[in-house]
Chain A
Amino acid sequence: MTGESFRSWRKPLLVLLAALAVAVFLAPLASPNPDGLDRVARDLGFAAREGRLHRAPLPGYTIPGLSLGRWTPAAAGLLGALLTCGLAWGVAALATRRKAQDPEPGHPRR
């Protein structure tokens, strides 16, 4: 890896490490209280309308079959942050790849 390419990778890598640190060390400290919208739904009596249309694999930032006590959100957060990173990276990579194909004259876009 050349110095130039290392410099361009260093800052995104630091942001990723910061994200993973937040997931691992701060997510377990999250307040369990209802958030603003949940609170309003309870106070105004429409919280019971909440319905589930699908079963998410990691419902409510838990990992079925794995109990790490208070560190459970850390593990779920780590997985989620990496998954989110990969997905957004993929979307961005796809966008630039399509752009690279655009300028070629006479080649209709696939």
Chain B
Amino acid sequence: MHIPDGFLDTRTWVGASAVSTAVVGYALRRTRETLGERQVPTLGVLAAFVFAAQMVNFPIVGGTSGHLIGGVLAAILAGPSAATIIMTTVLSVQALFFQDGGITALGANVLNMGVIAVFAGYGAYRLLSALVPGRAGRLTATFAASWLSVMASALAAALELALSRTVPLTVVLPAVLYWHALIGLGEALITSAVVAYAFRVNLVPALQVAPPPKEVVE
């Protein structure tokens, strides 16, 4: 899912970077309002977890692999604004130190995985977990929202590639969505397992940055 340098034209990566910068700025302000000193380590350790989990490519069909994005995972465990900061940190380290994702494409990768995956995924999670109450609802919501977050992220990447005239949208969109519909299942399985475990051992109130939304409190 990490776009390398060279895939996006200047107009597209500059535009994506501007949007990302604005949202990361908003997320920083939100986090500043809600973050207590005790939750500072939370952002660090969750970022480390997302970084490590993203390294573990799992095979899907046809000689292709995928890996966790972790946007919904971070958003459920720490809140969406904290998740955007976590994802931005992970993506920056990957691009700067590991050549995973381009430098010019960093803004687009933050937009896809740190903003769209987080907010679309977390929005879907909140909506679905309000519809179906209880533990089963939370797990269903986690599963569906994680899958959706990957699809939203893939859709954004396809649009950026098409806007850059790298490849026509009608060609790239079905291909990108096909593979990520499968990769999204991996995202959904991993996120559901980790979230279920985190709630079972009461990691969530311990890690939560923002006070938990009222609808989700049981």
Contact = CB atoms under 8 A, between A and B. Distances in A.
Given A50-B4, A89-B43, A77 B52 contact: yes
B45 A85 contact: yes
B179 A19 contact: no
Most A-side CB within 10 Å, residue of B41, B103, B157, B207? B41
B57 A35 contact: yes
B138 interface: no
B43 A19 contact: no
B36 A84 contact: no
Looking at chain A's contact residues, the main secondary structure is: helix
Given A30-B55, A84-B89, A18 B49 contact: yes
Contact of A83 (B5, B93, B180): B93
Mostly, the B contact residues are helix
A88 B85 contact: yes
A92 B203 contact: no
Interface in A87-101: 87-89, 91-93, 95-96, 98-99
B47 to A, nearest CB: 4
Interface stretch (B116-124, B128-136, B139-147, B164-172): B164-172
Contacts of B17: none
B167 A91 contact: no
Interface residues of B, number: 73
Interface of A: 8-9, 11-16, 18-20, 22-23, 26-27, 29-37, 39-41, 43-44, 46, 49-61, 73, 76-77, 80-89, 91-93, 95-96, 98-99
Interface of B: 1-7, 28, 31-33, 35-53, 55-59, 62-67, 85-86, 89-90, 92-100, 102-104, 154, 157, 161, 166-167, 171-172, 175-176, 179-180, 182-183, 203, 206-207
26 contacts: A9-B41, A12-B207, A13-B45, A15-B203, A19-B45, A19-B53, A30-B57, A31-B57, A31-B59, A32-B65, A35-B65, A35-B66, A36-B1, A36-B154, A37-B1, A50-B7, A77-B51, A80-B51, A80-B94, A83-B93, A84-B50, A85-B45, A88-B43, A91-B43, A96-B32, A99-B32
